[in-house]
Structure 1
């Protein structure tokens, strides 16, 4: 509804999401703990999933226990994403509450900063004009709360991306997820065809590179306006551009890491990224960049061989 360096695991890309055939992805929300500032961040698309419940674990609807390290599970290495909000009403702003428990079963309250935020909340599906009214904030007991903008009916997946500041998982990157249902008649939209460029808010965004599945590959994004190269990009989340990708079909999620150094508010026109997309096929890419204090979100489809 992201540049400080990340671990190699994050650079390889983290799979995350469900199984809707149509993608309507964009940014949803990033947050920080109550002692730091917050800004909107990421969102993605509606998915279909079969939640499971385990009474011995005290599970609630919306929990998914996948035996994979791809972001589709609510647990990993003893860390667990929990929430009592398995259903939210359509057409209304709603608060989504969640927390992360550690291997000791206690709520985690210490998170390391990642691109200026202690917690990134991701969801499916939203448009750029559907950013949450307020980013997530953490209470003293470790409960995070995010005011979500009006949700469309359908099956959603909520992702929490974080790095523990202490404990067994200190310094490790985690992406955990849960499903969320919004009652009503869900609608789907086809994924736009692959294209090398797109336009947003008068800017032309062009992508250069031909990545192969499972291989590290550089990608370059060039930004122009009125036919002229843009050189006034401002830093956003410690980088000139934030790029995420979602795979058509299984909606695997990958964060493409920027490699262009930030040297002030004169970024552009070319921005370099480290891409390692795990699967072939169509990927929907979302690029965030900021000029004049305004955040822009561009989207295009990339074919990966």
Structure 2
């Protein structure tokens, strides 16, 4: 299947060079970008369990990359914990959580990755409603992630971080939990794989072919009104941020940009070395910034 088909859902900052065993996507992106319009969320669009895979309810850096698929709430002694299992629908809300270390205590020391100490993602089980935010941490290690209004249904929340010391110092982690948003929940069908997508008047076109667990080169081109875009601004220290989620289980993959950043004139072409961990359809969210506004383009790609 064409890479184009899988990659247009591109969106948000991120992480380190991914090893073949990496959880999701090792991405060498040749541009710098990140985000969905100014809000940083895209509307196409879960109670915990430490140390196990927390299945979603039916509803449908670059040093060391995280291992796994992001579906576990704990890994290698680190745990993503929260007392919150439900969140209200239709209004902004703050989600409180902690990251505990091997000693069972909240971790307060985190390495800065793409200008942030922790990246937080929310995606509905049908892969709509994507949000990428950067929580604030209190002195006691309690984080609060501000989320925009959520639609009823099951949501998976991901925390991506790197401890700056201790047993996991320098290792990139992606852990997740699910929450339920009460109310009548309708499912949105996943758009079919495509080679291009639009966002805020911009067209994102992807060229390449994806195969599960095989590194492939992808080229993403951004245009507007038929003209090449060459004014991409640095966002989270890169010209583009790309996050991918697997249809069905919401497995996580983060792709990294590799092109050097040189002022506010990135584009129009971005190059990625992409490796998705499993076959099937993936919803990709590509975030990029122009004139101080963050845009998010979403596209479905298929990995054979």
Range class of TM-score, shorter chain = 0.7 to 0.9
Whose RCO is larger (CA < 8 A, sep 6+)?
2
The answer as to whether partners of 1:12 and 1:275 remain within 8 angstroms in 2 is: no
Q: Deviations over 1:58-88 (max 9, x none)?
A: xxx5225327932211111111111111112
| Residues in 2 aligned to 1:5 and 1:291: alpha-carbon distance in whole angstroms | 21
Tell me which residue corresponds to 2:109.
110
With the length of structure 2 as denominator, give the TM-score of the two structures: 0.80
CA distance in 2, matches of 1:254, 1:117: 18
| Matched residue count | 269
Give the aligned partner of residue 253 of structure 1: 252
Query: Which residue, out of 6, 28, 33, partners 2:16?
Result: 6
Q: Is 2:284 the partner of 1:298?
A: no
- Determine the structure 2 residue equivalent to 1:208: 207
Aligned to 1:146: 145
Gaps of 5+ in 1: 16-25, 29-38, 50-60
Out of 42, 51, 75, which is 1:65 matched to?
51
| Structure-2 separation of matches of 1:45 and 1:159 | 18
Kindly report structure 1 stretches of 4+ aligned residues shifted beyond 3 Å. Answer: 1-5, 9-15, 39-46
- Counterpart for residue 31 of structure 1: none
The one-character-per-residue Cα deviations of 1:191-240 (angstroms, maximum 9, x if unpaired) are 11111111221211100111211101111100111111111110011111
Deviation at 1:158, TM superposition (A): 1.2
Counterpart contact for 1:64–1:177, Cα < 8 Å? no
Note the C-alpha offset of 1:147. 2.3
Unaligned ranges ≥5, structure 2: 1-10, 26-33, 54-66
1:111/1:255 Cα in 2 relative to 1: closer, same or farther (>3 Å)? Answer: same
Separation in 2, partners of 1:79, 1:205: 37
Q: TM-score, normalised by structure 1?
A: 0.80
Partner Cα distance (2:43, 2:252) in 1: 9
C-alpha RMSD over aligned residues = 2.8
Is the CA contact 2:70–2:175 (under 8 Å) kept in the aligned structure 1?
Answer: yes
**Cα shift at 1:106:** 1.2
SS in 1 for 2:260: coil
CA separation in 1, counterparts of 2:216 and 2:161?
25
Deviations 1:13-35 (A, max 9, x none): 439xxxxxxxxxx969xxxxxxx
2:229 is the counterpart of 1:219: no
Query: Deviation at 1:175?
Result: 0.8
Specify whether residues 131 and 70 from structure 1 end up closer, same or farther in structure 2 by C-alpha distance, changes over 3 A only.
closer
Q: CA deviation at 1:111?
A: 0.2
1:120-140 C-alpha deviation (Å, 9 max, x unpaired): 111123546x777xx410000
| 1:12 Cα deviation from its structure 2 partner | 3.4
Question: Displacement, 1:3?
Answer: 7.7
Is 1:230 aligned with 2:240?
no
Greater CA drift, 145-154 or 213-222: 145-154
